[in-house]
Structure 1
Amino acid sequence: MKLIVGHRNPDFDCFASCVAAQKLYPDHTIVLSGLPQQNLAQYLAVYEEKYPFITEKDLPDKSAESIIVVDTASKERVSQQIQEILERCGNVLIFDHHPDIKEISIKGEKKIESVGATVTILLEEIKRKNIQIDSIDATLFAVAIYEDTGNLLYTTTTIRDVEMIKYLLQNGANLVEISDFIKYDLNYDQKLIMDQLVSNLETIEIEGSPVSIAVAETDKFVGGLNAVSSKLWYLEGMDTLICIVRTGKKTHIIGRSSSNSIDIGTLMTELGGGGHRKAASCTLNSQDVLKIKSMLLQRLKNYVNKGPKARDIMSFPVRVAYAEMSISEVNKIMERTGHNGLPVIEDNKLVGIVTKKAVDRAMNHGLQKHPVKSIMSGKLIVVSPETPLNKIRQIMIENDIGRIPVVENGILVGIITRTDVMRSSFSNAVRSIQRKAVHETVETTFLNVRDIMLSNLPKKISILLRQLGRFGDEIGLPVYTVGGFVRDLLMGNPNYDIDIVVEKDGLSLADLAARKLNAKLVKYEKFLTASLFCKDGLRIDVATARTEYYEAPTELPQVEVSTIKKDLYRRDFTINAMAIKLNQKDFGLLIDFFGAKKDLDSKLIRCLHTLSFVEDPTRILRAVRFETRFGFKIEQQTARLMLDAVHQGYLEKVSGQRLRQEFEKILEEKSVFEALKRLSDFEVIKHMFPGVFYTSSMEEKLRALFMFLPWAENFFEKLNRFYAVMYVFLEYHSENLLEEIRQRYGLSHCFVSELKVIKKMIVPLSKMISLHMEFSDIYRVTQSFSSEAFCYVASYLDSQAQQYLKEFLEKVKGTRLKVNGGYLVKNFNLKPGRLVGDILEKLYCAKLDGVITDESEEEYAKKLIESVFSKVPEQ
């Protein structure tokens, strides 16, 4: 017996090294110990047939002619059974990438080299011998290197690792699939280090700059300390973090910083390490972490640049508003200059700040002539010219303000905005983070679509729209129909969900319309909206023209009264941002500010501004839904913004309830299969459902599922499409990850319990159906299945097997017994209990298989009972 073994609970580098070793030594068998790490387990669920292996339980004896050990040189890291086999084996070859480890306790020929991943050493040999690998092999090997080198960012990464990545990409490594399986979670030992670091974390100020220092100690080797430090730095949101970690006889120092005031790189270089200004590390032979910490605190003072102060970055001279200026005058200044806020001066003193938001609100309330001091904020947060940049940044974050006045001796000498802070933080030009229009600058289009309305709309809808326009005329308010109603009208699609927008006061129009139409009125005053429910079943939604602003990305918007243009600009896509005026004079006038009609004709889905998906990430799902529903194409820059928002983690910040609502809408679309593929293209699925990888295998299951669903929805009284899809998505998930997703998306405990049971039997069950086994055999396995679980089974079946499943379900639904428990108890002197239940089940199964009919049911029951009692031994 010739074996290839690795450490317990293998990760990607361990398993990939086993596969690479087998290519070099094809007469050896791969043996895995323990449980593969989660992302590897998910990979093996897809590719297990490609890479066969055995487990320790499959080993026929405790001896081996030859053993190749990969990714470890320590007996303590392999299982007890493998240790015993190693002790007896005289031919052992070791491949590992931890040459500085003292605990090299496995005896044999050693190929232990300083590279980022063990598989790199083996790949070099494969390349030298010109052994062929395919794209799947290349992808597996690349995942291993990327994961063990932290995407080539760990300091253990070598040029050899980079060369092997180049070699693998040349051989077809799939970057999309690589990103699906890269694991970022810490392992058990790394988590222990993380816990120590968190417990020992303290923050001090050095020359005005906050520095956090944490220490940890362990007697064993722990790899990936850079990843541990980076994760702690990210999670705690610190400016500068220095981790001091002793592993065995060596102490590692890892530094991370987002501050321009501290030079981590030069400090580490002088200590014998390396890196760059904001990320560096070194290793010392000293074991006293407290002495090292004290030494670092002393040396850090030499590497702290006091950095820019307020006087270095402030804007001056400062444009101001005077306290007695009218609100309309201040509004003109803001619109002309583009300023969103102005300091307010009275008697040469700074007395407040007024924002564009406050000015707009006052203008909408007719307060143009009032003095600006009546709406300014008197709560002043100011800094002096000597305030350090990092302190200014902290003040902005803690108080959520975008501008800070700089005051010296009571006199306003400058102002600092977020842009000033960003400009000082980056040497290159600051990229604007304001909303920018995605559509080209276009002239507003006015088009009369009255004839289209009269020809495409039912007469009662046309009359109703005219009435609403007249109601607006009565109270002097402009009235428009907007959104999907307009879009579908121009496309010729029936849509009678009427959305009305009224400038200034939509609730007044709703009140009047409710009285005139004798309709039920429901108001939502907080959102300036109302709904009218007419007696003929028609619903009309009325809203005040409003603009929305987001206090933070992904949060629900705040609402302010606005104009029709700003109301349309807050919408998701251009094709939904058109309005038709309903007032009598302009009835049927299409108003298009953003080139929406052009996009509609060109079949493009285009968002309105660059922060659209940051403000509301659910629009990403909506874009895909509209694209597949209408057969449109997502415009190029819109697609890029969608992908950027996904990569930046904005979907994860949205509540599970909102995401589920949007996802369920997609599942109701006719082109649902194509929509899910597009969600995968934008990496939405793996960000919404961690651990779900949209592979070709999953795609085939989903194709089969959606082929079966229409029939199933007609057959079952109750069926939830979301749950049916979740069976396919979550079948390979661990209990912890399954529970996390259950809580996020409100999945029922019953669903989770059923999934845990069914996923273990899904393969043999699907084979039973494919082989057209007896209905009774299938029934015994599936009798407690939910309707969604049967859909999950169908995802494993081809069309012929699905047809047999349908026949089975129809047979079950149509099969009833005449004989019941009471009949058996009365006629055969049986006691109620398990025996009666067993006999009834056998009767039912026989009837399913056509063995008996209604007429022979009682006779068959008698034979079953006689058979049972004939087997009971006489006393």
Structure 2
Amino acid sequence: MEVIVSHGGTDFDGLAAMVACAKLHPQAVMVLVGGQSPGVRRFIAEHKGYLPLCRPEQLQEKGISTLYIVDAQQPRQLGDSAWLWEKAGTIVTYDHHPPFAEAGPGIRQQVGAVTTLLVELLRAQAMPLTSFEASLFLLGIYEDTHCLTNLATTPRDMQAAAWLLEQGGRLSQVSQYIDISLAPQQRDLLAALLGEARLEKINQRSILVMAASAGKFVSGLGGLTQRLAELEDCDLAVSIVVMGNQVHLVARSRRPELDLLDIFAPLQPRGHAGAIAMTFAALEPAALYSQVMALLRERLPKVQVAGDIMSAPVKTISEDTSIAEAHRLMLRYGHMGMPVISSQQGVVGIVTRRDIDKAMGFNLGHIPVRRYMTRNVVTVDVLTPVAEVIRLMTQYDIGRVPVVDRGQLAGIITRSDLLAHIVGGNAEDAESLFTPGDFRLAKREDNITGLINSRLPRRIQGILMLLGKIAQEEGFAAYAVGGFVRDLLLGLPNLDLDVAVEDDAIKFARLLADAAGGRITAHEDMGTATVTLTDGFRIDFATARMEFYQYPAARPQVEQTTIKHDLYRRDFTINTLAFALNTDRFGEFLDFFGGYEDLRAGLIRVLYNLSFVDDPTRILRAIRFACRYGFRLEEETRGLMASALADEMLAKPPAARLGKEMGHIFREPNVPSLLKLAQELGVLQKLLPGLEWSDKLEGQINAVPRVSRWLAKHDLASQDWLLYPVLLLNAAPREGREEAMAVLGLKPREQKLVSAVADNLEALSSSLRNPALPPQGVYDILNPQAPLALLALLAANPGEADLRAKVLLYLEKLADLELAIDGNDLLQLGVEAGPEVGRILKAVHRAKLEGLVETREDELALAERLYKGEEQ
């Protein structure tokens, strides 16, 4: 037989899940183990006719083929009925409490109520529900999620509840059985807990700790703990209560960042991040109390303070700075406001971009900023809790708050910093609408040392640790940045290591070269260096720097800054990811701009609105990354790209810079998709004015990968990337070709070859279309051609089977067809040295091409007849 059970002390979520499971498995019997909560006991008594329940002892003599366990996943949770587990042939578990069992059939997912998981199955199978069933399932969900209000509630719970209402569920039943009033024993326990309650400050958190004795078992300790937590407005509440010969521990969290499963992990708790419960049979209450306090002090996350999220250092201006100079600095650094400082008083004001722009509009650029700055500056200390910073910024409706440390300006907090703090901390819990195809995107962690050790070769791990050791000992702050970190998270091979260094990257690189025995190449003007180790491995170093552009598409001006500002200058959010290398912070993950979430969502997003204006080549990089990873352009980024194209920004960079990016594009594995997207966005038309994109051209471009595969065995595929420029130039006007070839990334020698192939492509194709063309004619046409021309013939005519057959005939048979005889053989026949030797050999070769001769003897015989004039 098949049996359905829940945990002892069954609550409404357990009972509802049992009934839902019985609908999915109608042959199974529902069995109540242990006791039930008072509300559940009353519900069962009032609805006996609807609930065919058995007791465990009724199954003593029966075999159990399958045991379905809901709202639990361990045999100990069945109490005295754990023998059911041992007796069952197959165990199927439905549970929502982590940690989840790794194996075995069933569904184990983190939602607010286990009933939600089973309701989703019922809904997927379109199973009809009675009003009684729908109401009971609502009861289960509402009870375990505290009426959809506790921290563990998910959108899935709400969707399940909404569907149950549509199926006839009655909220009146919910309010009838989820009773907020207390039984006498519960009121006594509540009073006892209040009498022993202590409000502790641990790691700047407000913790309510309560201990009491109830004599005998009293249900609802979790609810009482929740009530007291709300009454005291604390961050976390813990109740330790002796009931009979057992000690019960219950905890409730009121802050999403306080994960009780993690904090109390050494005690092996049951429950979820916001609510846990444990029972101990042989532990003194005082010992448990001491253990709880030790865990809280050791594992409770600290409150984040202003110093944790502020941006530093801060660009400031003095009170005597002119409005015009302030305007120039704000444009240069992209700031919307700057603190104003005085050498005697510290921070004396704030000046905003809005005020500066307005003053410039009134021709007040010569006026000092002190005349128009905001003087009543709200500041916070580095130790001010972030929650207080949020309150102040909301109360005073301000966009930035200077942070001071012992009276000195230490940093600034902007709305962007707050959004990164609020959203970034919980972003990994969000459902993503995009799942990268074959990527093994790693889970977001505050420290990714485990990922480094599991995904990188030991040689690279050793180099990273050596970099961290040098940074730590020599007083640098070093970080692995960019594509190396991005692809590490995606599970893709990428050993192009870029290191950003706060301070002097060239000095740091020299220290590595000395320690590891490498060769260094430095560029003093840009603060960059490359170290090539003895085994050829290259590491690129750059001083953490801020870039600004004097005009669109200009080469950037640089100056030293922090890692955050360094990452902000990069092209897309997915390339702003980094991790610390210093020994004391090794593996610490940095994501200031939401890059990880854009990896999860599959988005290419710029960091600021003028990104494509500052560097128009980013338009080409955006397309390249989108197609490489199967990502899409974020909507606003797409709009900014369109604006930059409309403003002719791609006409501003030198052709060589555009060509470098196009060279990268042509070497990507999915060039047809790249060029198609570039055409749809209007990029190709800007790069190659007059280009006629057509279905024919698209078909030719799509044929290139197939051509490459065909010709790989002929060693011709190494030039296959040049086919794309050939095909594009063939569809573009001849005028302006030299500029177009530079834009397409062709070197001078490649330009000459590509231009010749493009010019001759149509004529060459026409000559091969002659249906009566013999093998000798195929040879005569194709033998003088460059290998690229043969590739182009196949790609440009993808649907012409006869033409393809002639090219393949040439490649596979005719091109390497050699005579067994040579000039010496003809001299021995009596032929005089001179042009006649060449004429005869050519005639024999033609005959061999046409299959008229095969062996050396055949060749000699034909040569002799030609010499004697017996054949022409």
Which of the pair has more CA radius of gyration? 2
